[in-house]
Homo-oligomer: A and B are copies of this chain.
Amino acid sequence: MLQLRIIDDAVSRALEEDLSSGDLTSEACVPGTAVATAEAIARHPMVACGGEVFRRVFQLVDPATSVDLLVPDGAHVEAADVLWRAHGPARSLLMAERVALNFAQRMTGIATLARRYVAALPAGSTTRIADTRKTTPGLRAFERYAVRTGGAHNHRDDLGSAVMIKDNHIVAAGGIEAAVARARERAPHTSRVEVEVTNADELERALTAGADIVMLDNMNDDAVRASVARCRRLGAPPRGPIVEASGGITLERIPRLAAAGVDVISVGALTHSAPAADISLEFTGLG
């Protein structure tokens, strides 16, 4: 669920970028009375995402437009399928077109990539694929939504919603034990404390200090397997620690990491490297 306030805020800014001084071409060439229908068409198989955003772009350009969402967010569609259909004053459709597609292509691209990672998990696996904070500035809520739409999970939303202790925090605090202790003492009790570890020794210290989540950073498959085993000796979640793998993740490693039993695999590429989906807007009629 993407909140209307958040959609409208980002869409308004995007319209400001493209339409701050109107649309010279449409105003010159298209009669104000012309009415049209336009369809958003998938150019290849994809996981639809961003229908509501697509709709709001048209409505914020012109409340007299309407948009039908022919497929729900999260649906897999094939090439040539119609995703969404817009109707209204032709000028308004032309003015909204590019901004609407810019949002939709990005969101659908992310959802489609997320689905590929999720699909790579073995059947029945409880491992989750998660995003990171490597999101496009200004579009985090949209990209997190697209990740969920693709079936993956969100990591912490921002620096204020959970504790994640990395190498530099550890150095500054004077060691893993001190860092975890300080975090547990000061952070809201609703936040888990996650600690990044790179080897067995650090893992041991993190667990001893009471880390709720250990993030295995750039470990190979063997090290991951050993780490999971060590953690499980303290019990499985929710009472035992959660194990997350990150760094150097590829689609090929997903089945092996899942088989190793990690609880979470976090993948920056979901948001920073998803290619835009190819969606085009075709005018099917001009009244």
Contact = CB atoms under 8 A, between A and B. Distances in A.
Contact of A102 (B137, B178, B191): B137
A268 B189 CA distance: 16
Interface string A22-50: 11111111111010100000000000000
A20 B18 contact: no
What is the oligomeric copy number? 6
Contacts of A155: 188-190
Given A5-B12, A98-B133, A276-B272, A191 B173 contact: no
- Of the candidates A1, A94, A168, the one having the most CB atoms from chain B within 10 angstroms of its own CB is A168
Contacts of A191: 24, 156, 161-162, 190-192
B153 A189 contact: yes
A270 B258 CA distance: 35
Contacts of A221: none
A19 B102 contact: no
A235 interface: yes
Contact of A22 (B20, B160, B189): B160
Q: Is the interface of A mostly helix, strand, loop or mixed?
A: mixed
A255 interface: no
B19 A188 contact: no
Contact of A286 (B30, B105, B172): B172
Interface residues of A, number: 113
Contacts of A185: 28
A17 interface: yes
A55 B7 CA distance: 21
Given A168-B286, A169-B25, A19 B137 contact: no
Closest 5 pairs between A and B when the two form their complex, measured CB to CB: A21-B160, A162-B190, A14-B137, A161-B161, A23-B159
Given A30-B173, A94-B168, A239-B240, 10 more contacts: A5-B19, A24-B160, A24-B163, A29-B182, A102-B135, A136-B136, A189-B192, A190-B191, A191-B191, A212-B238
